Amino acid sequence: MSRLYTADDEARYVTEDGPFTPARDQYRRDFARVIHSPSFRRLQGKTQLFPGYESDFFRNRLTHSLEVGQIAESIAHCINFKHPYFRENNINPRICFTAALLHDIGHPPFGHNGEEALDERMRSSGGFEGNAQTLRIVTQIEKKRHKPGVESLLLRRAGLNLTYRTLAAVLKYDSVIAEDRSSETEVAKGYYIEDQPIVVDIKKQVAPAWTVNDGPFKTIECSIMDLSDDIAYSTYDLEDSFKAGFLTPAKMLASDSALLDRVAERVGKRIGEPAFAATDVLGIFSDMFHDQVTTETYDRIGTTGATDAEKIVASMILLEQLDNAASESEVRTAFTSNLVGNLVENVEVNFNSQFPQLSSVCLPIHLQRQVETLKIYTYEAVIASNRVKLAEFRGKEVVGGIFDALSGEKGSLLLPHDIARLFHAAEGDERKERRVIADFIAGMTDRYALEFFGRLHSDSPQTIFKDA
């Protein structure tokens, strides 16, 4: 059986000479590079669920990524403790944490709406997708390292020059995005065609004997990151929705039948259970809220017993506490903490004996149902609501408007100096010119994009004493 990690995993696209500090391994160096990168810092200005200007409480992409990282690290420790193979061959929790910090780094301003706006304009030029952009950022766009002997401004950067194993941990979708998708209407998941050589190198370094006939290429660290994102999304977005007053347990249990039917249909497709119904959604909500009833809750009704009648009363007390979102923050956060803890403790491993590094993780089916139900219900009830959609529509309009202005006649004159240099290096190749513009916009925070758009279109006079 092959080893979980080898020296090839620690290699980098561009070789770096020491001296290296013996106390800090290559994966900790990767972690430090991500933490200190401008692309990671910009996540604090990108929306997770609700716009950051609405409240200091709501999560943004950076705090979300930190929470995903904590969950991923915890899952790695749990697997190392429980699974016989990984008890002897530990998963490196630091790689999992680093992958989690990177998982949203490629998202443009305004999340999936910004992604759609950019992809619509890039479909004949290689497309745009958040995960593909993540790989591009860490292997090219960031300015940490350069390729020796390469003079081309478009080709000389090596991004953060991370180890191959860390790069593999962010390779979530192992498929190349077609260069021309003019006839398509949906964002395609994968990596850009120009990044195919680095993906080939990643696979050779991490699993040299692997072929496409051996199943999908997705490392155990990537699988942990992916599941951790689902767990964070399904629980902490729900907590934010409670805080915002968009949802309460009572509202969830009293959801109209049309909403429940939509949720049930989508959940059924995701988990492969076509018979999944609205009553199953309500059953998950009911069990979830009852499972969070604590001894303290029973104490409030003067009993430590657990008869059916007392459980109902205790559950109603918990619902009352959770519904009062403004004043019961400790109950709300304890609720989500218990949900996350239960999910982390019950993660299972699909062990790949031929390629242990390509093993995967999952949740038992009853918890898969819970996670998918919470994710899809939150989307249908909150993200798809008119109040949130109004803000999202504005975001898509802003991103699309900036791209149209910069790609128009003499639009390059509006670019900052360093971006303009890249644009002119691509001059004559429209595909590369458009990629430079997409890269620039994708790196914007929500606020910067709104400000840039305002300076292009606002009726109010704007200062000329600020760089683009």
Q: Three-state secondary structure along 84-149?
A: HHHHHCCCCHHHHHHHHHHCCCCCCCCHHHHHHHHHHHHCCCCCCCHHHHHHHHHHHHCCCCECCC
pLDDT above 80: residue 316: no
Per DSSP, the three-state class of 176 is strand
Among the residue ranges 200-204, 327-331, 379-383, the one predicted with the least confidence is: 327-331
**Among 463, 448, 458, which Cα is nearest to 399's?**
448
> Residue 377: which domain range?
226-386
Are residue 177 and residue 313 in the same domain, yes or no?
no
134 and 273 share one domain: no
**260 and 344 both lie in a single domain:** yes
Return the top range by mean pLDDT from 44-53, 382-391, 418-427: 418-427
Residues 179 and 255 grouped into a single domain: no
Span 283-312, pLDDT tens digits:
898 888 776 655 455 555 455 555 556 555
Name the pLDDT band for 1 (thresholds 50, 70, 90). low
Q: Are residues 234 and 177 in the same domain?
A: no
pLDDT (mean) for 249-278: 92
pLDDT in tens, 266-285: 999 999 999 999 999 988 98
**Statement to judge: residues 260 and 288 lie in one domain:** yes
In the predicted structure, residue 186 carries a pLDDT above the cut 80: yes
Asked if residue 191 belongs to a domain, the reply is yes
More confident position, 156 or 464: 156
Instruction: Look at residue 163 and give its three-state secondary structure.
Output: strand
Q: Based on the domain organization, do 194 and 236 belong to the same domain? A: no
H or E segment and range at residue 370: helix 365-378
Residue bearing the bigger pLDDT, 71 or 148: 71
Specify the pLDDT at position 442.
Answer: 97
Place of tokens 């299972």: 348
What pLDDT sits at residue 323? 60
Alpha carbons 393 and 400: distance in angstroms, whole number: 11
* Residue 467 pLDDT: 61
Strand partners, 60: 47
Domain presence at residue 47: no
Is 419 contained in some domain? no
Among candidate residues 386, 403, 418, the one where a domain is terminated: 386
Query: If we measure between CA atoms, which residue out of 453, 425, 430 comes closest to residue 441?
Result: 453
pLDDT surpassing 50 at residue 326: no
Q: What is the pLDDT of residue 246?
A: 85
Q: Are residues 239 and 116 in the same domain?
A: no
pLDDT band at 327 (very low <50, low <70, confident <90, very high): very low
Round to whole Å and give the CA distance between 132 and 154. Answer: 17
- What's the pLDDT at 300? 53
Q: Which of 336, 360, 386 is the last residue of a domain?
A: 386
pLDDT of residue 280: 94
Does residue 24 lie in a domain region? yes
Does 283 map to a domain? yes
For the cut 50, the answer to whether the pLDDT of residue 81 exceeds it is yes
In a domain, 53, yes or no: no
- Left (φ > 0), alpha (ψ -120 to 50) or beta: where does 139 sit? alpha
Mean pLDDT of the chain: 88
Report whether pLDDT(51) > 90. Answer: no
Q: What is the pLDDT of residue 306?
A: 53
Q: What average pLDDT does this structure show over 177-203?
A: 94
How far apart are alpha carbons 388 and 380 in whole angstroms?
11
Q: Do 231 and 211 belong to one domain?
A: no
Regarding pTM above 0.75, the answer is yes
DSSP 187: P
Has residue 94 got a pLDDT over 80?
A: yes
> 113-148, pLDDT tens digit by residue?
899 999 999 999 999 999 999 999 999 999 988 888
| pLDDT the model gives residue 289 | 79
The confidence score (pLDDT) of residue 439 equals: 97
260 and 316 housed in the same domain:
yes
Please report whether residue 433 resides in a domain.
no
**Predicted confidence band at 362 (pLDDT cuts at 50, 70, 90)?**
very high
Q: How many domains does the chain have?
A: 2
H or E element at residue 441: helix 430-442
Which pLDDT score is estimated for 237?
87
Domain annotation covers residue 358: yes
Q: Among residues 386, 403, 419, which one ends one of the domains?
A: 386
Q: Are residues 257 and 326 in the same domain?
A: yes
Q: Do 195 and 241 belong to one domain?
A: no
The rounded distance, in Å, linking the Cα atoms of 84 and 281 is: 36
